[in-house]
Every structure is written in C-alpha cells, then in structure tokens.
Structure 1
Amino acid sequence: MSFLVERPPEQYDRAAFSGFNTSSTFNLGNARAMMWMSQLAYETHVPATIDAVSKLLQLSEVRVLSKPAKSSLPMTDTRGVIVRKGDATIVAFAGTDPLHLLNWVSDFTLGRPQAAVHEGFHDAAAAVWNDVRDALAASVKAGSPIFITGHSLGAAIAVVTADLARRELQIGNAQIYLFGCPRVGRADFVAPYNITFGATTYRLVHGADIVPTVPPPLLGFHHVGGYLGCASGAKFGATPPALGSDEPMAEAGLGEQLRGLFVGFSQNARRDTLGALTVALPPGIGDHLPDRYCAALTPAQ
C-alpha cells in the first residue's frame, strides 16, 4: 500500500468507538468506528501499527488477514483484520491503492459477462473466506453481534463476504458498513442479498468519489443496501441511508469520466506533510481516500 492510505498510530482517533452501539441499527457512531476499522485494514503489513492501534482502541483477539488472491483485478492479495470490540466481532477489509486507481476503475468494468457477481470481487473474498468463515461461525455460536466493513475494493469484498455468510452459514443478522463501494453484482445477486441484508447494509459515498459509479448499470451491475452521500469536505448526516438507490451515477461515459478526474482539486483532511500532498489530487480520486471518509464522520468541533 502507499502513503495515501497508510497512517501512523498517533493519527488514529482515540474516540473512534465513542458512539459505537451494537444494539443500534444505522448511526453515525457505528459508521465512524467502522471507517476507522477499514483504515486499520490498510496497515496489515505494518504489525507495529496494528499492535499500537489495537491497544489504543481497546481491541481484542486481533487477527490479520493476508492471503494471495487469484483475481481478474490487478491485485496480489486480500488483506484485512478480524477483531473483537466488547462482545462484537468486526471483520474489516483493505481496499484500493489510490496510486493505481485509474487501472482499478477501468478493471471494475470487467468480469464474467454472465456471472451474478463481479469475478474479481468474488475471487478476492474467496482468498480469505476460510479464516473469515471460522470467525463468523464462532461468533454465531457465541451470540456475538457481527459487523462487516471495508473501504473501496474492501467494501466490495465485504459485500461478497456477507453474501457467503448468508448462503454458507445461514447468517441473517449482521451490520455491513461500506465506504466508497463499487457496484458488486447483477440483479440476481442483489435481490437475494437485499432480502437478507438490505436494511442493515449502509453504503456511504463522499463527494465526487469515482469508485461508487462503477461498474455502470448499463453493464447490469447494481448497488446493494441503502445509500447516504455527502458533499466533498462536508460531514455525513444522521439520516438513515435510502434503500434501493443505485446512486451515484456517472454523468458521462468511462473515457470522459476518467478525463474528468483531472479537473479541480480535492479538499485535504490530513495535517501532516504527506497528507498535504494529496490536495493536488482531483476530486474523483482525492474524495475516495480513506482519510476523507474518516474526516466526514468525525463530529464537528
């Protein structure tokens, strides 16, 4: 991963779980906690950061997911973390390296034409499914609340993982928080998924983030769950996500959309030197960065 998605332990929000409530449906406190877990998933190759943040946020039974992935997408492995916070089990997946985002956006439009779910997303989830399945099965046996989350590609992996849990473990009670998630599957995937998890899948999109606009509906792909957006540099509102929305839509074809990435600037949320460099990124890329989502979920001072 690159500096665009990594953060040192001292930049993690000590109050990330201050509003976390396992008995609640959608709330911004849970969304905030899940976004920081999605951020932590990017640090799986830095054990010292995982250890420090786990202590800072009082996480327990921390397990790192890192397995080679055979995928049609330009990726080498699937990464994430499984943690316990209180009595809850949280599975979080790492996503896209923004330095390669143009390649990702192009490849998000590809896959098996007749498959219900995008081939690349399915293969990435399958790489770590055995480990995740064991953790989820243990959580069901213990009666633990389950949260599944991820940012970017990690959000797509979270969706496929939730569906695998539905089909193989008959899990029907979990909360899924998605940040900057692409469209994962076609109607024959989305319909049964939404019957089980539609009301507890919360899909958040910040600003002009380009990733949630692909693959396009004209290829038969659709979003799952409920949609909640916010303007670039703004805060997410507390209104529950709107169910059944396929937003956001691309306003142009893929080629024009990619060219449009280079128009304008993205508001920076980080205060360190490396973070300041990202101000030059165009909105479609900059608004997709995990630090923008963390900032959009941090209460105003």
Structure 2
Amino acid sequence: MSFLVELPLSEYNRNAFADFNKASGNFDPDVARAMMWMSQLAYETHVPQTITAVSGFWTLSNVKLLMQPAKSTLPVSDTRGVIAQRDGATIVAFAGTDPLILKNWVSDFYLGRPKGDVHQGFKDAAAAVWDDVRTALIAASGAGSPIFITGHSLGAALAVVTADRARSEPAIARPQVYLYGCPRVCRVDAAAAYNATLGPTTYRLVHGNDIVPTVPPPQLGFQHVGRYLACGPGAKFVASQLAPNSNSDEPLPTTGGFAGLTQQLENLVVGFSPSRRMDMIGRLSQLLLPGIGDHLPDRYYDALP
C-alpha cells in the first residue's frame, strides 16, 4: 500500500471514539469521525502491530483482519479491511485505493459500458471477503449489536456492495453505512432499490474536488446512493448540510453527453489541496493534483469536526 495512505502510529487520533454513540440512529458527526478513522485503520492490514496498538487505545475488541486475493476487473490484487467491536457495536471497515494507481482505475471507468446492475469490479472485490463479513454480520444481528459498515475510496464502494448484499439476508439487521470519497457503484435501478431500504442510513461524504465520486460517469448509467454531504477543500463538514434524502447524484455537472467531463478535468488539475499533516508526507501530498489530493484519507478525517 502507498505511503500516502499509511499513517505512523503517533499520528492516530487517540480520541477518535471519545464521543462514539452506537445508539445514534441518524447521521452523527461523532460517529462519522470514528468511522473515517476506522477506514484509515483498514489501510494498515499489512502492519498488524499498528492495528493492535490502535485497537488498544480505541478499546476495540474481537478484531479480525480481512485479507483475501481478489479476482477483479479493477487493478487491485486483494481485498482488505477490519472487523471489530466497540461498546457492543460491530464495525466493518474496508481499505481503499492506492493513490499512486488512482489515475489508472479512474481512467478505466471511462472505457466501455460495464455490465450488470452493480459494477462487476466492485462486486468481485467485495465477494473475496463476503464469507467472513457475512458470519460477523449474522452474529451481530443475533446479538442485537448495531452494525456500521464503512470505507474510503474503493473501500467505500465495497461498503456499498456489502450493505446491498446484506439486505437480501433476512438474518442481518439494517446497518448504518458511512462512505468517504465513494465512486458510483450501482446502475439507476439498483441504486433506487438500495436507496429504498438503506438510503436513509447511508451517508456519503465528499471532500473538496475529490475526483473519485465523479466516476463512473452517470452517462454510463450509474448513480450514487445515500445522503450526500460535501465540504470545500480544507473546510469542515457541517451536519446540517446533509441532504434530507438520497436522490442526489452529485458531484458532477448534469449536462447531457460528456459535456461535464471538461469541468471534471479542470477540478482534477486546477487549484490546491491543503493538508494539515505537517510531516514530510503531508507536505509532499500538497504537490498532488487537487482532485487526487482532496481524495486522500487525511483530508477526510481532518474535515470532520
């Protein structure tokens, strides 16, 4: 995994779960902060000692690492994540995308017209760990444990696919889903079916000019799910600005054909993506194209008040 998404143990927020409320039934900024930090932790599956140490000061229990080879049309070799419990809640967090290959798979979304109701690359990647996730979700539901599914970037797409698959299992309770920098995952009909049941408790956060939520383009028949919340580059998310329903397909100009592509490309290359990380990696990341810099996980957890 790229150094751009790895984080030294000293940089982890020890208070990420300080105000976590497992009983919160609607969007909760404190839960959003905790879920984004869990999404960050999912990037560390190749450094188990970091996960062990962070789990200690977040008081996570029953921590299980997800690491399985993935046969996907996307340029990913495996699916990774973390399952854990906190205060009786069950959390499934998926790792996301290596920013150094991000431009490759963003480009892939413009090639051809993918088949199926859900992007096959995402389905294949999520399927690699489904057995372990399903077992955990059934156990949580049987115990009356609240369920949270989360992820950043590709991990957010895997969270959508997993939540969608789980809703067809009568033994699994409805989860809350927190998404950060999520691409479009479902075609229009599949998105409508998802939103009919999980839309109210799926929260889709987009920071600045993050390029990933603009793909695949709606001109290929894809549509976002969940309730949309955005903030500007380097700004903070404001809970009161959360969309009241799940019918938003932002961010992307809604003009016909590929007219919106010009604006997307401008957002990708024009401007500056500020970082609050003061180490060398944080400073270097500000040299990235803003559409990629705004996508990095540190931009998201810094944007959560």
Contact 1:96 / 1:104 at 8 angstroms: preserved in 2? no
The alignment yields a C-alpha RMSD, in angstroms, of 1.7
Shift of 1:9: 1.3
The letter of the residue matching 1:6 is E
Q: Which residue of the partner structure matches residue 104 of structure 2?
A: 103
Paired residue for 1:292, among 279, 287, 299?
Answer: 299
The letter of the residue matching 1:269 is R
Contact 2:209 / 2:268 at 8 angstroms: preserved in 1? no
Paired with 2:84 and 2:15, the residues of 1 have a C-alpha distance of 17
Q: Which residue of the partner structure matches residue 54 of structure 1?
A: 55
Paired with 1:141 and 1:183, the residues of 2 have a C-alpha distance of 31
Superposed, 1:222-241 pairs within 5 Å as 222-239=223-240, 241=242
Alignment identity in percent?
A: 66
Contact 1:111 / 1:120 at 8 angstroms: preserved in 2? no
The letter of the residue matching 1:146 is I
| TM-score, scaled to structure 1 | 0.95
Aligned length: 298
Contact 2:211 / 2:267 at 8 angstroms: preserved in 1? no
Contact 1:181 / 1:212 at 8 angstroms: preserved in 2? yes
Q: Which residue of the partner structure matches residue 16 of structure 1?
A: 16
CA separation of 1:213 and 1:75: change in aligned 2, threshold 3 A? same
Shift of 1:211: 0.2
SS at match of 1:261: helix
Shift of 1:258: 4.3
Q: Which residue of the partner structure matches residue 146 of structure 1?
A: 147
Shift of 1:14: 1.1
Paired with 2:212 and 2:240, the residues of 1 have a C-alpha distance of 23
Q: Does 1:271 align with 2:281?
A: no
Q: Which moved more, 1:166-175 or 1:248-257?
A: 248-257
Shift of 1:171: 3.2
Contact 1:213 / 1:250 at 8 angstroms: preserved in 2? no
Paired with 1:112 and 1:70, the residues of 2 have a C-alpha distance of 19
Give per-residue Cα distances to partners, 1:184-205, cap 9 Å, x unaligned.
0112211111111000000000
Q: Which residue of the partner structure matches residue 44 of structure 1?
A: 45
Unmatched 5+ stretches in structure 1 = none
Paired with 2:83 and 2:112, the residues of 1 have a C-alpha distance of 28
The letter of the residue matching 1:131 is D
Give per-residue Cα distances to partners, 1:44-82, cap 9 Å, x unaligned.
000111111111111110000000000000010000000
Contact 1:2 / 1:97 at 8 angstroms: preserved in 2? yes
Q: Which residue of the partner structure matches residue 87 of structure 2?
A: 86
Q: Which moved more, 1:104-113 or 1:274-283?
A: 104-113
Give per-residue Cα distances to partners, 1:235-291, cap 9 Å, x unaligned.
000216212110000585557744752333210121111211111112100000000
Unmatched 5+ stretches in structure 2 = none
Contact 1:216 / 1:250 at 8 angstroms: preserved in 2? no
Shift of 1:170: 5.1
Superposed, 1:198-209 pairs within 5 Å as 198-209=199-210
Where do 4+ consecutive residues of structure 1 move more than 6 Å? none
Contact 2:252 / 2:260 at 8 angstroms: preserved in 1? no
